[in-house]
Structure 1
C-alpha cells in the first residue's frame, strides 16, 4: 500500500492533510491516533469509499476510487462501528455475506466461528457488543483476503478472545497477507504490530517500528531521597520533566542523556533509583502533549 499526499476535506472541515505512508506487504501495520485524528477517514480513502481531495493511494496495485469494486473483493474489512442486519441470525448474516463474496468453500469460515466462539443461532440485535464483534472478525477474515483492514478490532472482546485474535493475525501475515490495524488501544498494538504510524490532527507525525519508537522514547526515572524530594534541582535540567513529587520520592521523564540526572541525584544524596524505558502509551501521549503545548495561546 502506498499513500502520497493523501488529503480529504469536507467543505471547510479538515479530514486528513498530506498523509504519506508505505505499508509493507506481509506484516501487521499499526495506525494509531485518538478519536478524531483522521484514522477512519484514511481507511475510507483506502477502501475507495471517499474520493480524495488531493493526493494518491495505491492499494494492491489499484486505485481505490477508480477500481474500488475490484479492490474490495480482495480485501477484508472490519469497521469501527459494525452495523449488521439486526433481525438476521449470525448464521444468516454469514451466509449472505459469503454468497455476496462468492465464497463456496466454507471450511475456514467454520474454523473461525469455532475459534472465536461466535454466536450464530440468535438474531444479531440480541447479541452483546463482543459477540457482534466476533461475527465481524469472521466476516473480515473468512475468505482469506490479501489485505485486511481493521478499525478498533478488539472492541468489546474479552482477553481470551483477544489472545485468539493475536494468533490469527500472526497466522494471516505468515501466508503473505497484510493487516492494516487502526486502533487507540496501545496494549493491543504493542502485542501484534511490527511497524506503525501515529496520526495527529489529520497528519502523520511518526512512522517507525515499535522497537524503534521505544528506543527514542523518554525514560521514566524514580528517585528516593533521605528527606523531601528536591524538585528544583531537577526541573531546570534539559530534557527532564518532573512528573510527580510525593514526600521523599520523585518521578522524572528523561529524554536524552541521563548523566545530568545521575549527577544531580548524587549531589542531592539520593538513596535509591529505578529506571525503565517508556512504553508505547507514554510515547503516544508525549506526541499529544507536544501538540497541546504548540496550540496553547500566547501570553499577552
Structure 2
C-alpha cells in the first residue's frame, strides 16, 4: 500500500479548475516532489488530499485511509506532518504556546531538538516574528511528532540557505527512519537535492511523473566548443541544437543523440570542448514552452 495514492483527483471552484484528473502515488520511504509555478494547482491538490477541500471527482488515500472517509482520514492525520504554504499561525500566541497546542493534538517526540536545530525562540509572540521565523515554528510543528508521512507545501519559503540545508538534513533523517514525504515546490534546486521522483503540474493537470534524472535529461547538454575553422551559423543549425550562440566559442544546448553530436563536431578541428548537464530549468520549461528535442527548430532561438 503506497503512502499516498491519488486517483483522478479533481477539484473545481465553481467553473474554475483547481486540479483535474490528477493521478500519482508516493511509495513508502520515497521523497516525491510536486513541481510547478505558483498557481499551477499544487496547494489545491495537497489540501484536497488532506480533506480540507472536498474533491469534485476522483479520490485517493493517505496511509491506506480513504480521503473521502472523514473518520478514517482523521486517524491518518494523527500520523501525518503537514506544513501549509501559508501557515496562518495565531499571531497573538507565543511560538511556545502554539507548539504546546500542537503537542496536545499529536504529541512531541523531538520538539526540543528541533527548536535548538532551527534556533527558534519560543518565548516570542508569533506576530512579532519575521517570515523566516514563522516558517521555523511551522516546521517544528510539522516534524516534532515524528510523522510517518509528511506533506510539505513550499517548505523552505523564507529560510536562509543555512536553514534550508538543515531542513534538507531533517527530511533525509525522517526518510532514513522510514517516513514518506510529498514536497511541493517551485524551486528546482530543492527538488533536485531531495526528491526521488517528480510530478510536474501545469494548469491544474499533471504533465508528467518521472525520476529527477529523467527530468534532468530533458534539458539536454550544454555544449561549448572552440574550433580552428571559421564557422557559420548555418553549419550548426541542425536538429538537436537549441539556444545557439556564435562567437569565438560556439555554445548551444544539445537535445539529440550523442552519435549525431559526434558527427557534427567531427566536421571541425576541435581545440576546446566542454559538455555538461543543462540547468534543471531547461528541463522544467519543456513542460511550459512545449517539448524540445529531435523535432525542435534549431534556427528559431538566439
State the TM-score, normalized to the length of structure 2.
0.88
Deviation at 1:223, TM superposition (A): 2.2
User: In the alignment, does 2:25 pair up with 1:36?
Assistant: no
Deviation at 1:239, TM superposition (A): 2.3
Whether the aligned pair in 1 keeps the contact of 2:34 and 2:198 (CA below 8 Å) is yes
Give, in whole Å, the separation in 2 of the partners of 1:150 and 1:228.
53
Give, in whole Å, the separation in 2 of the partners of 1:182 and 1:229.
45
Q: Deviations over 1:229-280 (max 9, x none)?
A: 5222222x22221x14252223212222133333333435453221112243
Give, in whole Å, the separation in 1 of the partners of 2:286 and 2:274.
21
Partner of 1:295: none
Partner of 2:260: 260
Partner of 1:230: 232
Return structure 1 stretches of 4+ with deviation > 6 angstroms.
Answer: none
User: In the alignment, does 2:70 pair up with 1:69?
Assistant: no
Q: Which of 182, 190, 204 matches 2:206? A: 204
Give, in whole Å, the separation in 2 of the partners of 1:86 and 1:130.
14
Whether the aligned pair in 1 keeps the contact of 2:175 and 2:181 (CA below 8 Å) is yes
Give, in whole Å, the separation in 1 of the partners of 2:17 and 2:196.
29
Matches within 5 A, 1:1-300: 1-67=4-70, 68-99=73-104, 101-103=105-107, 106=108, 108-226=110-228, 230-235=232-237, 237-241=238-242, 243-290=243-290
Q: Deviations over 1:158-194 (max 9, x none)?
A: 1221111111111111221111100011111111111
Whether the aligned pair in 1 keeps the contact of 2:233 and 2:246 (CA below 8 Å) is no
2:169 partner SS: helix
In structure 2, the gaps of 5 or more residues are 293-302
Q: Deviations over 1:61-106 (max 9, x none)?
A: 112232233332221111111211112111111112222x152xx4
Give, in whole Å, the separation in 2 of the partners of 1:112 and 1:8.
35
Give, in whole Å, the separation in 1 of the partners of 2:106 and 2:155.
24
Whether the aligned pair in 2 keeps the contact of 1:229 and 1:250 (CA below 8 Å) is no
Whether the aligned pair in 1 keeps the contact of 2:245 and 2:252 (CA below 8 Å) is no
Give, in whole Å, the separation in 1 of the partners of 2:119 and 2:233.
53
Whether the aligned pair in 2 keeps the contact of 1:226 and 1:248 (CA below 8 Å) is no
Q: 1:229 to 1:123 in 2, by over 3 A?
A: farther
Deviation at 1:134, TM superposition (A): 0.7
Give, in whole Å, the separation in 2 of the partners of 1:229 and 1:120.
65
Superposed CA RMSD: 2.0
